Chains A and B, each alone.
Chain A
Amino acid sequence: MPNAIYIALIPLLPLAGFLLLGLFGRRIFKNNSGVIGTLLMMCATIISLYVAYGYFFEYGKVNGVYQKLIPFKYAWLVFSKDLSIDMGITLDPISVMMLVVVTFISLMVHVFSLAYMKGEERFSTFYAFLSLFTFSMLGLVISSNIFQIYIFWELVGVSSFLLIGYYYDRPSAVAASKKAFIVTRFADLGFLIGILVLSFYSGTLDFNELISRLTAPGSDQLKAAVTSSFMGISAITWGTFLIFIGGAGKSAMFPLHVWLPDAMEGPTPVSALIHAATMVVAGVYLVARLFPVFAMAAPDSLQIVAYVGAVSALLAAVIACTQTDIKRVLAYSTMSQIGYMMFALGVAKYGGENGLGYTASMFHLFTHAMFKALLFLCAGAVIHFVHSNEMADMGGLRKKLPVTHIAFLIACLSIAGIPPFSGFFSKEEILLAAWQQNRTIYWIGLITSGMTAFYMFRLYFSIFWNRDFNDHHSAHNHHGEGGGLITIPLIILAIGSIVSGFIPFGNFVSSDGSRLATGFHASFSIMPVSIGVIGILIAGWLYKKQSDKPDKISSSLNGLYKTAYHKFYIDEIYLFITKKILFNLVGRPAAWFDRNVVDGLVNFTGNTTQVISEKIKGIQSGKVQQYAIYFLIGAIGLAALIIYW
């Protein structure tokens, strides 16, 4: 059993960074707040790597099965003997993996931001917010209690809100941060109700207890949860489904994905950290955390997870093919890849070979964090150089930004699933799991995989090839790639994107903790890889040289192209529902009621008091003799009362 204190340091160091930089950053650490934040993050990364080493290779495994360890637990709010909200630390394969992912990506982003955000007026505030985010995300992954995870879940939402709205003088950024907050909050309502349902039936908030009570066949709690039903659906399915809504909101699953593309208004390193690599996988993590309940007690919810994931993956891929803002393309590709992780979980079953999807999902989460953070940081480097997000302003950058070019190419190959890059391995595993369990989802995944390759290479060719970079605004392009602070994180992440695929993930992470052999099936891989290659070739044919072919194709697909370009009008539908229907039917009557009845009551009281006081204020005339007369009248009245009563 490891010592709890140094594990607790992993989230506490970023918290210290937040407090330090948030309270004193503007005055005392004005010049070195970035360095302080980065150093604290580095310590946290080293500790979490040490914990990961210890867990996976020394004390985590007992009889060939990875145990769930709880080195620290403190009962924070005790409601009854069984029911309490604890603050604890859980170590199990997925939480340890997430610790490594979050601290590592966060460290890379901290380093990158040293150069990228240099000269910003609110530089220390930025680092304070980054630290707050990292703290809450780390707290989320090590939670031992479902309510603890909810607390950190909301903290993550707040810090994401703060970071999206970092440029608060831009109306679009303010709108985006509000949108992200409201959409995820709306989803969190589902999460909260789900928590209440599950904890009501299981009688506990503790993850271990909850999972063991709701998965033990024949336990009273499970029986109660399965037999009681609402609208013909059992309570446990409702509970898990509502929790999945919370996860879908954070993970930007269809139809709650609308906030993610807008969230790209935040600074690019933030997009890399929060909206690509860590926070958006919180939903996947949440489903994985409760996976035994989903798999054993609520297979219907798991089906929903699978289909929502698959639909999101495909939809996002289609939209990504048409977008022209590079960060938006990356945002939709994130959504698509998270859809992959979701449906991989959805097709998995608990234990043994059937749990392949679970391992694959976590594997993809890991590799995706690497290459997606890399893609975003590369995009950051490109935007830093071009001062624009639009593809039209780019092209021919491969000579100007050689390191970024190579790193971006590696990341694209990885996400396209080309061997031997990491995305290939995790994606193969996901597709294999889908093939074994659900063919429909397999085909959706396969099509998506081809489209992923296409739009990623569309992006790649548009940025780095297409035409020569026109230097007409070279006056403010005098800086080159941006020095070591920009390139070193790119190089490290590129190496990570190459080698992380070779980790035998099944050895470490599986649905039941025991070793899962994940073979490499050459014959199975032929199809996805060749589809990926075809996607790349089409993208190369269309976008490598400047031509009018893409325009021709898009105009021949007029309706479809337009629909996809407008993101299937989902935003418009939401706007219609909220503005036209909700505002008119609920908002306006409520406003009328508020203005007339509630305000009216308050105003009436106020006005009456005022009128009366206006009338009687003459009594207090300031004339002493009048007061004396009142006194006399009172005295006479009292005397009369006493005498004649």
Chain B
Amino acid sequence: MQPGLNQILFISTALFFIGVYGFFTRRNLVTILMSVELVLNSVNLNFIAFNKYLWPNRLDGVFFTVFIIAIAAAEAAVAIAIIINLYRNHQSIDVEKAEEMKY
């Protein structure tokens, strides 16, 4: 059975909120980073689905997806650099413990 647009949007929405949920609840920075990747990938899925079902003879959505993957890679590199620095300062990557910037 060929999946329709609705089914794919359902998956991508589920993926998005799983990511958001992980982003807010995880204490480990690496897990948070992974949740961000989930969010990004749900967006990618959206782009691809809209491109395929609504404008099948064009490629804009696909290009956006390629860009997002590249940016996600760069973002992951930056985030890991931050995580390493955080670990050096706190001997931990628990975000709850990095709260010097409060009032």
Residues of A within 8 A of B (CB): 617-618, 620-625, 628-629, 632
Point out the residues of chain A lying under 8 angstroms from B101, CB to CB: 622
Contact B23 A622 (CB under 8 A): no
Contact A623 B95 (CB under 8 A): yes
Interface residues of B in 47-103 (CB under 8 A from A): 95-96, 98-103
Most buried by B among A617, A622, A628, A632: A622
Contact A625 B99 (CB under 8 A): no
Bound complex: CA of A304 vs CA of B73, how far in Å? Answer: 97
Q: Mark B22-44, 1 if CB is under 8 A from A, else 0.
A: 01100000001000000000000
Bound complex: CA of A624 vs CA of B24, how far in Å? Answer: 9
Bound complex: CA of A628 vs CA of B98, how far in Å? Answer: 15
Pick from A622, A628, A632: contact of B102, CB below 8 A.
A622
Bound complex: CA of A504 vs CA of B52, how far in Å? Answer: 120
Bound complex: CA of A618 vs CA of B100, how far in Å? Answer: 13
- Closest chain-B Cβ to A354's Cβ sits at a distance in Å of 84
- Closest chain-B Cβ to A131's Cβ sits at a distance in Å of 57
Known: A622-B101, A624-B95, A625-B24. 15 other contacts (CB 8 A): A618-B103, A620-B102, A620-B103, A621-B102, A621-B103, A622-B98, A622-B99, A622-B100, A623-B99, A623-B102, A624-B98, A625-B95, A628-B23, A632-B20, A632-B24
- Lowest 8 A-B CB distances belong to which pairs? A622-B102, A622-B99, A617-B103, A622-B101, A620-B103, A621-B102, A624-B95, A625-B24
- Closest chain-B Cβ to A611's Cβ sits at a distance in Å of 15
- Closest chain-B Cβ to A440's Cβ sits at a distance in Å of 81
Point out the residues of chain A lying under 8 angstroms from B103, CB to CB: 617-618, 620-622
Pick from B23, B100, B102: contact of A625, CB below 8 A.
B23
Bound complex: CA of A632 vs CA of B24, how far in Å? Answer: 10
Contact B24 A628 (CB under 8 A): yes
Nearest residue, chain A, Cβ from B27: A625
State how many residues of chain B have any CB contact under 8 Å with chain A. Answer: 12
Bound complex: CA of A30 vs CA of B78, how far in Å? Answer: 65
Bound complex: CA of A232 vs CA of B43, how far in Å? Answer: 92
Nearest residue, chain B, Cβ from A616: B103
Contact A623 B96 (CB under 8 A): yes
5 interchain pairs, CB-CB under 8 A? A621-B102, A622-B98, A622-B103, A623-B95, A624-B98
Nearest residue, chain B, Cβ from A620: B103
Nearest residue, chain A, Cβ from B25: A625
- Closest chain-A Cβ to B102's Cβ sits at a distance in Å of 3
Point out the residues of chain A lying under 8 angstroms from B95, CB to CB: 623-625
Bound complex: CA of A617 vs CA of B101, how far in Å? Answer: 12
Point out the residues of chain A lying under 8 angstroms from B98, CB to CB: 622, 624
Point out the residues of chain B lying under 8 angstroms from A617, CB to CB: 103
Pick from A618, A620, A622, A629: contact of B24, CB below 8 A.
A629
Nearest residue, chain A, Cβ from B99: A622
Most buried by A among B23, B96, B103: B103
Bound complex: CA of A623 vs CA of B25, how far in Å? Answer: 12
Point out the residues of chain A lying under 8 angstroms from B99, CB to CB: 621-623
Nearest residue, chain A, Cβ from B29: A624
Point out the residues of chain A lying under 8 angstroms from B102, CB to CB: 620-623
Bound complex: CA of A151 vs CA of B73, how far in Å? Answer: 75
Point out the residues of chain B lying under 8 angstroms from A629, CB to CB: 24
Nearest residue, chain A, Cβ from B95: A624
- Closest chain-B Cβ to A614's Cβ sits at a distance in Å of 10
Nearest residue, chain A, Cβ from B32: A625
- Closest chain-B Cβ to A119's Cβ sits at a distance in Å of 60
Nearest residue, chain B, Cβ from A619: B103
Point out the residues of chain B lying under 8 angstroms from A620, CB to CB: 102-103
Bound complex: CA of A256 vs CA of B31, how far in Å? Answer: 86
Bound complex: CA of A632 vs CA of B99, how far in Å? Answer: 20
- Closest chain-B Cβ to A103's Cβ sits at a distance in Å of 68
Point out the residues of chain A lying under 8 angstroms from B96, CB to CB: 623
Point out the residues of chain B lying under 8 angstroms from A625, CB to CB: 23-24, 32, 95
Point out the residues of chain A lying under 8 angstroms from B32, CB to CB: 625
Bound complex: CA of A632 vs CA of B39, how far in Å? Answer: 13
Bound complex: CA of A617 vs CA of B96, how far in Å? Answer: 18
Nearest residue, chain A, Cβ from B20: A632
Bound complex: CA of A620 vs CA of B32, how far in Å? Answer: 21
Bound complex: CA of A629 vs CA of B95, how far in Å? Answer: 14
- Closest chain-B Cβ to A590's Cβ sits at a distance in Å of 40
Point out the residues of chain A lying under 8 angstroms from B100, CB to CB: 622
Bound complex: CA of A618 vs CA of B102, how far in Å? Answer: 8
- Closest chain-A Cβ to B12's Cβ sits at a distance in Å of 17
Bound complex: CA of A124 vs CA of B27, how far in Å? Answer: 72
Point out the residues of chain B lying under 8 angstroms from A624, CB to CB: 95, 98
Bound complex: CA of A53 vs CA of B75, how far in Å? Answer: 92
Nearest residue, chain B, Cβ from A613: B103
Most buried by A among B24, B98, B100, B102: B102
Bound complex: CA of A629 vs CA of B99, how far in Å? Answer: 16
Nearest residue, chain B, Cβ from A629: B24
Bound complex: CA of A606 vs CA of B98, how far in Å? Answer: 32
Bound complex: CA of A624 vs CA of B95, how far in Å? Answer: 7
Point out the residues of chain A lying under 8 angstroms from B20, CB to CB: 632
Most buried by B among A618, A624, A628: A624
Point out the residues of chain B lying under 8 angstroms from A621, CB to CB: 99, 102-103
Bound complex: CA of A177 vs CA of B9, how far in Å? Answer: 89
Bound complex: CA of A632 vs CA of B35, how far in Å? Answer: 15
Bound complex: CA of A622 vs CA of B99, how far in Å? Answer: 4
Bound complex: CA of A282 vs CA of B32, how far in Å? Answer: 84
Point out the residues of chain A lying under 8 angstroms from B23, CB to CB: 625, 628
Bound complex: CA of A632 vs CA of B16, how far in Å? Answer: 13
Bound complex: CA of A623 vs CA of B26, how far in Å? Answer: 12
Bound complex: CA of A624 vs CA of B82, how far in Å? Answer: 14
Bound complex: CA of A327 vs CA of B95, how far in Å? Answer: 81
- Closest chain-B Cβ to A365's Cβ sits at a distance in Å of 72
Point out the residues of chain B lying under 8 angstroms from A628, CB to CB: 23-24
Nearest residue, chain B, Cβ from A624: B95
Bound complex: CA of A629 vs CA of B20, how far in Å? Answer: 10
Point out the residues of chain B lying under 8 angstroms from A632, CB to CB: 20, 24
Bound complex: CA of A623 vs CA of B94, how far in Å? Answer: 11
Bound complex: CA of A622 vs CA of B101, how far in Å? Answer: 5
Bound complex: CA of A624 vs CA of B33, how far in Å? Answer: 13
Bound complex: CA of A624 vs CA of B96, how far in Å? Answer: 8
- Closest chain-B Cβ to A634's Cβ sits at a distance in Å of 14
